[in-house]
Amino acid sequence: MAEPARRIDLLDTAPRFTAAQADALNARFAGVSTHEMLAELLREGLAGRIAAVSSFGAESAVLLHLLASVDRAVPVLFLDTGKHFPETLAYRDELAARIGLTNLINLTPDADLLAKRDETGLRWSYDPDGCCEIRKVAPLAAALVGFDSSFTGRKGFQSKTRAGLARFEIDTTDAAGRLKVNPLADWSADQIEAYFTATGLPAHPLVEQGYPSIGCSPCTTRVAPGEDPRSGRWKGWDKTECGIHVEGAATELPPGYDPAF
């Protein structure tokens, strides 16, 4: 039997984590239900100051509902890129009200940075990595400075690049060793669907239109049955992630940059 993880008291130690601590948390919560893990994690403060990063996409409701069932005040960071489908923004508002989230934080790109590097708003069409850096990576990096860890909704079944995802890992985009928690890492598509059915949570309106993975509207297309759920993201480009979960994607923030809270 694996040795249980020690309690990580971030009030008395440096507010960052090591790979060994992430491994210890994976061992401690091996075989523990997702809800029980979240309850213990939040109530005991094992992850320090933590926020959830949510796209309010196709499957986001599951994690948000689980978190709200433990603590509705968990900060939820939404990257309002200015390029979302109108349906996503409406779904964000509906879901937040339905679940009772009390700490939804909308992050927006720096206006000066947009003016300098994406004046026409068309950077996505010739440099999607650069567009994601301005509209997602930089605002999130600035917002996460105040947190020790973050929840993500990533799941192993979503793509080949996410297969084998662990519940706890070190955020490779953060040199200081922020912890990244993936509560649904080992959930299957059937489990996600069953949770929606059991709770009566509303589905994102674009799912039934053939969008199993939903990002910004210019870079999201429909997916044919049987295709990788994320194959509709950045179709035609050698790109599978926006950058917020990719090693080396951390960006230098503009002087005095402050996300719009």
DSSP code for 173: T
225 Cβ partners below 8 Å, 6+ apart?
Answer: none
CA distance 16 to 177: 5
CA distance 104 to 187: 25
Concerning whether 219 is annotated as a catalytic residue, the answer is no
* H/E element, 52: strand 50-53
* H/E element, 43: helix 34-44
In the set 131, 132, 219, 242, the catalytic residue is 242
Point out which residues pair with 107 in neighbouring strands: 79
The catalytic residue positions are 242
